């Protein structure tokens, strides 16, 4: 069994009604998954798969994805909305006495 040292990746386990098993997933490696009868086994399985893929990527000198948790974010991004939505949000922000940015941030934080 491999020693797994990829704890900084974003793992999750979901139930697959279609497969009637738990599915282990890794956000940084979206093409990978692992099916298992228990959530613990699904998590262990996907972690082993990721470890193996990383080993292969290192051998082939491929770029290994950085964990989402270790990436730096500026706190800024642009969202395009239809002009009518922009107008409605601007009016709502004005009526609430806050900036459009604060209103959007509050909505996205829910």
DSSP characters over 38-59:
SHHHHHHHHHHHHHHHHHHHHH
* 47 burial via Cβ count (<10 Å: 0-12, 13-18, 19+): buried
From first to last of its 110 residues, the chain has per-residue pLDDT tens of 454 456 799 999 999 999 999 999 999 999 999 999 999 999 999 999 999 999 999 999 999 999 998 889 899 999 999 999 999 999 999 999 999 999 999 999 98
Kindly report the pTM of this predicted structure.
Answer: 0.71
DSSP classification of residue 68:
G
Q: Given the structure tokens 């093409």, which residue do they identify?
A: 31
């Amino acid at each position: 069994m491999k020693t797994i040292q990829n704890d900084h990746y974003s793992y999750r386990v979901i139930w697959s009604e279609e497969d009637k098993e738990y599915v282990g997933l890794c956000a940084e490696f979206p093409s990978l998954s692992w099916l298992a009868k228990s959530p613990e086994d699904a998590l262990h399985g996907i972690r082993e798969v990721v470890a193996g893929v990383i080993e292969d990527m290192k051998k082939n000198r491929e770029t290994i994805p950085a964990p989402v948790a270790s990436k730096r974010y500026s706190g800024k991004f642009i969202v395009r909305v239809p002009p009518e939505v922009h107008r409605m949000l601007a009016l709502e922000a004005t009526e609430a006495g806050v900036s459009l940015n604060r209103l959007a941030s509050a909505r996205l934080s829910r």
